[in-house]
Amino acid sequence: SGDLGGAYMGLQILEREKQVYLENPDMQPELNGHEYILERQLKPESRKDIIELLEGLEVVP
């Protein structure tokens, strides 16, 4: 549940649509109504406390 569950479901939808596309490249993906879970997969957000912890430890990604 939450953001992690949303990210997982977003991945499942993207994988499903990829299979449909590979079978028929003329098809357009049907992603309407899945904006939230797709956003969790495509644009994840870091927890603010982790960002502050890494800054405090002077960790640079």
Q: Please report whether residue 11 resides in a domain.
A: yes
Give the per-residue pLDDT at 42. 87
List, as one string, the DSSP characters of 9-58: HHHHHHHHHHHHHHH-TTPPP--TT-HHHHHHHHS----HHHHHHHHHTT
Residue range 5-28: average pLDDT?
Answer: 92
Give the per-residue pLDDT at 54. 92
Domain that holds residue 39: 2-56
Number of domains the chain is built from: 1
Q: Please report whether residue 47 resides in a domain.
A: yes
Output DSSP code: residue 59: -
Provide the whole-model pTM.
0.68
Q: Please report whether residue 61 resides in a domain.
A: no
d(CA 33, CA 20): 18
Give the per-residue pLDDT at 1. 67
pLDDT-based confidence at 4, cuts 50/70/90?
A: confident
Residue range 7-26: average pLDDT?
Answer: 93
Residue at token pair 């991945």: 11
Residue range 35-61: average pLDDT?
Answer: 88
